[in-house]
Amino acid sequence: MKILAIETSCDETAIAILEIIGGKFEVRSNVVLSQIKIHKKFGGVVPNLAKREHRKNLPIVLKLALKEAWGTKSSLGDLVPKLDAVAVTSGPGLEPALWEGINFAKDLAKKWRVPLVSVNHLEGHIYASWLESEPPKFPLLALIVSGGHTELVLMKKHLNYKILGETRDDAAGEAFDKVARMLSLGYPGGPEIAKLAEKGKPKSINFPRPMINSGDFDFSFSGLKTAVLYYLRDNPRADKAEAAYEFQQAVVDVLAKKTADALRKYKVKSLVVGGGVAANNALRRVLNILIKKSFPKISLHISPLWLCGDNAAMIAAAGYYRFKAKKFKKNIKAVGNLKLSKI
């Protein structure tokens, strides 16, 4: 079967076409048009601007995705026999942006007379690992570290989610963006801090590791962000590279410790890591070492770099399993704070 997916939860307009042959996934196309340059001067995403750009970009991205999948001769009219479903992100995210993708997907599904599948953006980050040559095995633990979300999730089977812990305030990605602004770095903050941190070394700075020994699987990065703020205020000549290094290390330490605690408590076969922060080299390195040294029987599946950011291929992968389970909805709505288990 073939499924077309649309992702517009934030500032990337993305459309992908996924073909499933004998249970194997083949990404026929995966087009992502970023709005970073537009939002960069504001230091973050402006919802109404994102909505405007999605509306303008969706038809363009669709044509590019069709061309990439089937060549220059493809057109909207000849797709009916080629597609089996349309999947779209319904949340969480910026509601004005989500609505653009949903309405566009509804029109396509109606025109092509195929089912419309609603996908949670966070489950998309989990299912990005199914696009690898060797997919994860159940039961599994998933660490989601996207822009506004940090969660540890237990999955015993497809589409079955038990949230073990989540952020109580700022997520890791939000903390990276806010600390980047404190350091006068660009947007998005994660890549900028990672680049600067490479020039830093562990010295005298010692930022806190919030909730690292709390005994549960929840996260909190607001206090860490505040500690960086106060440190820079009290040390105007501080080495920014050292501050970036220590901040990044504090985030990685918390994420790795909580993940290790969950792996010890729950008997799983795989660890899945997805989301924008999963592209961070320091986090990838620490998790690789953790699995090799402490959990050698558990397979590690960190999303490849091209699937860490927001994209539609991951939405298509999750949409495929929702299609198989016949989870169709006629009245899909945008829900900005949509929970992983609620769709």
Question: Residue 65 has what pLDDT?
Answer: 94
Domains detected in the chain: 2-126+310-324 (3.30.420.40), 137-303 (3.30.420.40)
User: Tokens in use for 234?
Assistant: 């009290």
Q: Is the CB of residue 85 less than 8 Å from the CB of residue 3?
A: yes
CA–CA gap between residue 235 and residue 151 (Å, rounded): 33
Q: How many residues does the chain have?
A: 343
CB 337 within 8 A of CB 41: no
Extract the residue ranges of the chain whose pLDDT is less than 50: none
pLDDT for 313 equals: 98
pLDDT computed for residue 137 by the predictor: 97
Helices of type H across the chain: 36-40, 47-70, 95-112, 121-127, 172-182, 189-197, 222-234, 240-265, 281-294, 305-308, 313-324
Q: In angstroms, rounded to a whole number, what is the distance separating the alpha carbons of residues 297 and 268?
A: 9
- pLDDT, position 205: 92
Q: What is the pLDDT of residue 49?
A: 85
What is this structure's pTM?
A: 0.94
Per-residue pLDDT, 343? 60
Radius of gyration of the chain (CA): 20
